[in-house]
Structure 1
Amino acid sequence: MCGRFAMTLPTDAMAQLFGAVPGNDLPDVPSYNVCPTTNIHVVSGEEGQRRLGAMRWGFLPSWYKNLTDGPLLINARAETIAEKPAFRNAARERRCLIPVSGFYEWSKDEKGNRLPWYFSRRDGAPLVFAGIWQGWDKGEALVKSCAIVTCAANNSTGAVHHRMPVVLEPRDWGKWLGEEGHGAAVLMRPAAEDVLQFHRVGREVNSNRTSGAQLIEEIAA
């Protein structure tokens, strides 16, 4: 599962990284506590061009009558994404890239207290998650919404949580976006053991109202 992340990369750097045309409605950066239902940066392929735009984090199936009509779908499980009615069409036709600087996961101590950890790439590059998206038109205006694809955790990440986002390497971005034909399903696998690093951070991030660079600073485990 992935339920919170940080994004610190400037918008122009993101657009250059992906060779994407940036939109005019992108969220402010840096943001160290990005929460579900907010707009996030998403790279999609539309009309033969990569576009960097804002989408609501929380996938809206076509049958939802309003934004809160059913469960909040922030993640889509790789194992069932091709079968679930909410996700299967998007998995075939509307895949996207979701860039982040790092993400949070939680473990529990012997008393049941939630202990946050911050995950990022060892090489310092942004993380790029596999995502799916679609438009939802039941409100006053079209809403583009998305979900992060998750898979079983690798051994190192599994020490904190049993699930993890699907992390895509640059060589796989085009395939996931459908620019290189079929075969994207094989990309829905755990990251190699040497890709991620993680450390304990303070419990302040447990509140979705907190912000600031101190949220990702390492503390003693």
Structure 2
Amino acid sequence: MCGRFSITLPSDAMAQLFDSVPGNDLPVVPNYNVCPTNAVHTVRSEGGQRRLSAMRWGFIPHWYKAPNGGPLLINARAETIAEKPAFKTACRERRCLVPATGFYEWTKDAEDNRLPWYIYPKRQEVLAFAAVWQDWSRDGQDLRTCAIVTTAANAAISAIHHRMPVILAPEDWPLWLGEQGHGAAKLMTAPPEDALSFHRVGTAVNSNRARGAELIEPLTA
């Protein structure tokens, strides 16, 4: 599962990191609480050039008659992505990366209260989530949309949640983006257990209206 994340790296730094040409429609950063249906930064390969551009987080299959014409598809399961009608063409032909500086997951206490955790890279400046994208058009409305690919959590993260985003190392970006031929399916696994750190954060992030760097600060007793 990946339902919220943060991105704090400036857009020009993202463009440099991913060796991509930035678009003129990029979301405002920093954003410490990226939510479903928000515009997100994405990296895709097109005509031999990587492009950094905005997409709506929430994949809209072509048969939806409206953006809310079916379930909100923010994630695509790695185990079934190649068979699901919504994703099977995109996973072969339209793969992209979603940059993030961290993401949130939740546990519950004995009273069923949602307790948020912030998960972030130990060594890298930015995480690159594997994702797929889809153009959707209806009645003059044109949207470019995406979903983040998830997989079974590694042992370190499974104590918090049983799913996690597929996180790609820089050396794997070309294969995922289709720049190195076939074989991207083998990349849809969890990262090494020592790749990520995490800590509890305050419950303010439980609201999709919450903003500010304090959302990722460690919870103090």
Task: Give TM-score scaled by structure 1 length.
Answer: 0.98
* Aligned residue in 1 for 2:21: 21
Tell me, what secondary structure is at the counterpart of 2:138?
coil
* Aligned residue in 1 for 2:45: 45
User: In the alignment, does 2:77 pair up with 1:82?
Assistant: no
Distance 1:138 1:78 in 2: 28
Amino acid at match of 1:82: A
Q: Which runs of 4+ in 1 moved over 6 A?
A: none
* Aligned residue in 1 for 2:193: 193
- 1:9-158 correspondence runs (5 A): 9-158=9-158
Distance 1:156 1:212 in 2: 27
Tell me, what secondary structure is at the counterpart of 1:137?
strand
Tell me, what secondary structure is at the counterpart of 1:142?
strand
Amino acid at match of 1:16: Q
Tell me, what secondary structure is at the counterpart of 1:14?
helix
Tell me, what secondary structure is at the counterpart of 2:116?
strand
* Aligned residue in 2 for 1:175: 175
Amino acid at match of 2:135: G
> Residue 124 of structure 1: CA displacement?
4.2
Asked if 2 retains the 8 angstrom alpha-carbon contact of 1:66 and 1:139, the reply is no
Distance 2:116 2:140 in 1: 38
Distance 1:79 1:27 in 2: 30
Distance 1:139 1:69 in 2: 14
Distance 2:26 2:120 in 1: 22
Distance 1:190 1:100 in 2: 16
> Residue 198 of structure 1: CA displacement?
0.3
> Residue 134 of structure 1: CA displacement?
1.1
* Aligned residue in 1 for 2:212: 212
Tell me, what secondary structure is at the counterpart of 1:66?
coil
Distance 1:127 1:10 in 2: 14
Q: CA RMSD in A?
A: 0.9
Distance 1:30 1:125 in 2: 14
> Residue 141 of structure 1: CA displacement?
3.4
Tell me, what secondary structure is at the counterpart of 1:56?
strand
Deviation by residue 1:66-88 (Cα, 9 ceiling, x = unmatched): 01000000000000000000000
Distance 1:113 1:93 in 2: 41
Amino acid at match of 1:14: M
User: In the alignment, does 2:33 pair up with 1:2?
Assistant: no
Tell me, what secondary structure is at the counterpart of 2:197?
strand
> Residue 220 of structure 1: CA displacement?
3.8
Distance 2:220 2:78 in 1: 33
Distance 1:187 1:124 in 2: 18
Q: For structure 2, list consecutive stretches of 5 or more residues without a partner in the other structure.
A: none
Amino acid at match of 2:185: A
Q: Percent of counterpart pairs with the same letter?
A: 64
> Residue 8 of structure 1: CA displacement?
0.2
> Residue 54 of structure 1: CA displacement?
0.2
Q: For structure 1, list consecutive stretches of 5 or more residues without a partner in the other structure.
A: none
Tell me, what secondary structure is at the counterpart of 1:159?
coil
Amino acid at match of 1:23: G
